[in-house]
Structure 1
Amino acid sequence: MRRSALYSSSRSARPAASPPETSASASQAQDSAPAQQAPAPRRRRLSLSSPVLMWSAILLLSALLALSLSLSLRPQQRPITQKDINAAVLKTMETQVLPSEYAKAYENIRPSIVRVVGYVKKSKLKESMGKSHGVPRAKPKALGPAVEPDTNDDNEEVEQGVGTGVVIIDKGVILTNLHVVSGSDRIRVTFQDGLEADAAITGVQPENDLAVLQASKIPDDLIAATMRSTGDLAPGDKVMAVGFPFGIGPSASGGIVSGLKRAFRSPEGKQEMNNLIQFDAAANPGNSGGPLVTMDGEVVGIVTAILNPTPARTFIGIGFAVPIENAASAAGLPPF
């Protein structure tokens, strides 16, 4: 009779049947073994990169040392002084061509310069020429049938003389010399832009040979000259005369103030003027009535006469101008 197998109810013998656990722990040990052995390659990488870090540090330190050495050897820049600035400005002025003082003065006064022409009728001119030369009128000889005189020809206007004027008020008020317009039947002025207009005498100052004109029409952009007191004017100061010498112009000529408070007597001895500005800028017939200006282009006088003991009536280095204070009073303007 076959017996059934007997199984013990005790559990003390179960530990003997735990080989699977052993294998599991072995597998865990095997799994953990790589984890414990993993740091070996990391240590290997650190050991490989340490020379690179070392050389990088060396190079960085070397660069810092070189930079500090160069900074220490570089000369220290001193602060810029006013002397340095002046030297730089002078050097720039030497290397770059700048407009001259006379060019600046001319540019400032040019818009205010006016050409003044006086016209007279031929009949009047013939009378004045006959009187001036003392030539008696002779009776014409009979040469045939009588011819009616051409009265229209006698009424024709001819140019008596050319002078210069300067605009002192932008409404068309012009200063010039009295001898430029005296005795004229008609006065014609020409402005900078070419506009021509008739003008009338509104004031005179015979003792200073001055006349004030009013133009019948003016340019839209007419500019009046700036007048300057002669109180600080001194011999040796640069001046410029602007006008129409012999009808050519406007022409500019430069010079200096030769003297102040000069007296001048006309060649005919009819008039003596005092308190004049003497200058050596070239002036000739046609400059009369034009401005004498400073290097700022400001008017200090009105050119009125030149001294030449010969009959040539050309410039020999001595010119005279009426101070602008006198000229302004002729126009009814307040003194400076």
Structure 2
Amino acid sequence: MPRPALYSNSRAARRPVAHDAAAADAAPAAEPAAAEGDNAPQAVSPAPSALSRRHARALWSMIAVLCVLLAASLGLQQRPAPQRITQKDIDAAVLRTLETTTPPSAAARAVDAIAPSVVRVVGYRISGNGKEEVGRSVGTGVVIVDKGIILTNLHVVLGADRIVVTFHDGLETAASITGAQPENDLAVLQAHKVPDDLAAAPLRSTQDLRPGDHVVAVGFPFGIGPSASAGVVSGLQREFTSPEGNRQLSNLIQFDAAVNPGNSGGPLVTLDGAVVGIVTAILNPTPARTFIGIGFAVPIEHAASAVGMPPF
């Protein structure tokens, strides 16, 4: 049996008749009624899901990281490689330093090496009542043992009632004679006080000393100093007789570094800063008794034996 057709019982709303054109324009157009039984869904744009948004953020983060890594890689590639220093570079740097800096002379370096060991020696003669100074002699000494053992000339301290030594740092103290070697005009002193950092002078044998070798004399000429003068060894195994005739010295080092009264007992030093002799006399045939170019020093071997030090 044929199925009867079904009809909707809803009626379409009657559209009102516009009375004028304005009203007609203002009136909204009525949408046609959907047919009953029309179940087709209307098309709607789907909203992006939260999962898609997370994936997008991760992708952009990864792109940013890759950009940073790429920039760093390019920066490393553009950075110049460290230059390797060669011997040629070192030589050039040394040459530039020598051209722009004036190094100290060999004589100045020798003085610096020996200066902490040089002392001023003053011998005082006191009147019979012990209250008045009636004379004094000024000379030089050199520390050869850091306990305060000092070498000087015997004629500087001979007959002194009181001996005072002044060290490089300014410390002034009394000293006593502990030994003497009259044949070489040498005296050994022991200082009663010593600086904490007192340094002994290095000593060097005279066996390889030759005329023409450069030397420096350090001392207190006329009490002024410490003073330094440079010269050369003029000769070896010289003899000297004092003007009064009461001193006869032999096997001396002759030198031409300027020395004067007050240098007696001071060190004669090679350019490597080692003591090779003790200045003891100057040749002064004139009444002025000043330096005319010839000085004498006792070889350090004799000086060391005065304090019982072994020979070189």
Show the counterpart of 2:131: 155
Consecutive unaligned residues in structure 1, runs of 5 or more: 5-79, 124-151
Letter in 2 for 1:120: R
Q: Does 1:276 align with 2:252?
A: yes
Aligned-residue offset at 1:94: 3.5
Q: Distance in 2 between matches of 1:94 and 1:279?
A: 34
Show the counterpart of 1:93: 98
Q: Distance in 2 between matches of 1:81 and 1:119?
A: 61
CA contact (8 A) 1:115 1:165 kept: yes
Show the counterpart of 1:182: 158
Q: Distance in 1 between matches of 2:257 and 2:305?
A: 25
Structure 1 residues 76-115: aligned runs within 5 Å: 89=94, 92-115=97-120
Show the counterpart of 2:58: none
Show the counterpart of 1:330: 306
Give a deviation string over 1:189-217, Cα, whole Å, max 9, x none: 11111111111111101010000000111
Q: TM-score, normalised by structure 2?
A: 0.69
Show the counterpart of 2:290: 314
Q: 1:253 aligns with which of 199, 224, 229?
A: 229
After TM superposition, the runs of 4+ consecutive aligned structure 1 residues lying more than 6 A away are: 84-88
Q: 1:290 aligns with which of 263, 266, 277?
A: 266
Aligned-residue offset at 1:296: 1.6
Q: Distance in 2 between matches of 1:258 and 1:158?
A: 38
SS in 1 for 2:177: strand
Q: 1:121 aligns with which of 123, 126, 131?
A: 126
Give a deviation string over 1:217-274, Cα, whole Å, max 9, x none: 1111111100011111111111100000000000011111111111111111222111
SS in 1 for 2:113: helix
Aligned-residue offset at 1:122: 3.1
CA contact (8 A) 1:117 1:159 kept: no
Give a deviation string over 1:65-124, Cα, whole Å, max 9, x none: xxxxxxxxxxxxxxx889x9778755642432111111111111111011100011135x
SS in 1 for 2:244: coil
Q: Does 1:172 align with 2:172?
A: no
Show the counterpart of 2:207: 231
Q: Distance in 1 between matches of 2:115 and 2:227?
A: 10
Q: Distance in 1 between matches of 2:286 and 2:201?
A: 34
State the percentage of identical aligned residues.
73
CA contact (8 A) 1:174 1:212 kept: yes
Paired residues, number: 230
Q: Distance in 2 between matches of 1:205 and 1:170?
A: 21
Q: Distance in 2 between matches of 1:286 and 1:217?
A: 23
In structure 2, do the counterparts of structure 1 residues 96 and 261 end up closer, same or farther at CA, with 3 Å as the change threshold? Answer: same
SS in 1 for 2:204: coil
Give a deviation string over 1:101-148, Cα, whole Å, max 9, x none: 11111111111011100011135xxxxxxxxxxxxxxxxxxxxxxxxx
Q: TM-score, normalised by structure 1?
A: 0.64
Q: Distance in 2 between matches of 1:91 and 1:269?
A: 58
SS in 2 for 1:155: coil
Consecutive unaligned residues in structure 2, runs of 5 or more: 2-85
